[in-house]
């Protein structure tokens, strides 16, 4: 397998989580809109890569393209680690390590659901699918708790709403692929892009409100 260090070394200037992040205080300067826009683009790039590599993994697995599966999984895992590492510049290495664990957990849980949906000759295994979906939702809740505890501008209900929708879209896309319902699978892409952009933009906005001095 090729090394994918390039993905992990791409500079990302946005961080999202910290158990000890300072609160926004009255009198702080407003964030520069241009800097916030740059942060949004950085997060959008990371998160769109996530859904791209997951989709590549799912389709190549369904079609039995082993080399494509290997490549997609390599890049998908590297992207998950890059998303985790992106928090370091704002919140430190401990927060980056924690979020890496959580987001790699999300990526692994998506793969777990795919395995369950593709079992039994792609007819799926009901018990395994339920267990995999439960794992996805538990992971989503853990991420939402982590984010909301770090940033007062990102309430748990808001973050959870984004993540639950994201999980549901993964599930629907995988289910369509299992059935080779390519029309339905293709129709999922645009909503997934819009949702992941809404999620990443909300994160960037929340961080800018929390750390306006870093967006000057």
Using one digit for the tens of pLDDT, what is the confidence trace for 185-201?
A: 999 999 999 999 999 99
pLDDT of 88 reads 79
Using one digit for the tens of pLDDT, what is the confidence trace for 139-197?
A: 999 999 999 998 999 999 999 999 999 999 999 999 999 999 999 999 999 999 999 99
Own/partner pairs, 74-79, CB within 8 angstroms, 24+ separation: 74/1, 74/2, 74/4, 75/4, 75/7, 75/49, 76/50, 76/107, 77/104, 77/107, 78/4, 78/7, 78/8, 79/7, 79/46, 79/49, 79/50, 79/53
Enter the pTM of the model. 0.86
Integer Cα distance of 70 and 139 in angstroms: 24
Backbone angles phi, psi at 83, to 5 degrees: -60, -45
Question: What residues in the chain have per-residue pLDDT under 50?
Answer: 1-27
Residues in the chain: 216
123 Cβ partners below 8 Å, 6+ apart?
178
Which tokens is 5 given? 């260090």
């Amino acid at each position: 397998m090729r090394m994918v260090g390039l993905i992990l070394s791409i500079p990302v200037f946005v961080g999202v989580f910290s158990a000890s992040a300072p609160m926004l205080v009255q009198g702080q300067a407003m964030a520069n809109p241009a800097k916030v826009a740059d942060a949004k683009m950085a997060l959008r790039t990371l998160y769109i890569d996530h859904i791209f590599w997951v989709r590549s993994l799912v389709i190549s697995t369904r079609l039995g393209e082993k080399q494509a599966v290997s490549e997609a999984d390599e890049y998908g895992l590297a992207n998950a680690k890059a998303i985790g590492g992106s928090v370091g510049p704002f919140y430190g290495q401990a927060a980056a390590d924690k979020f890496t664990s959580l987001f790699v957990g999300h990526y692994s849980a998506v793969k777990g659901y795919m395995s369950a949906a593709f079992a039994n000759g792609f007819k799926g295994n009901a018990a395994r699918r339920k267990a995999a979906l439960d794992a996805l939702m538990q992971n989503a809740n853990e991420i939402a708790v982590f984010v909301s505890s770090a940033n007062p501008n990102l309430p748990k209900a808001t973050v959870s709403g984004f993540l639950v929708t994201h999980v549901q879209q993964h599930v629907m896309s995988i289910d369509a692929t299992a059935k080779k319902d390519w029309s339905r699978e293709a129709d999922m892409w645009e909503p997934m892009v819009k949702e992941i952009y809404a999620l990443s933009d909300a994160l960037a906005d929340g961080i800018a409100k929390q750390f306006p001095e870093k967006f000057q």
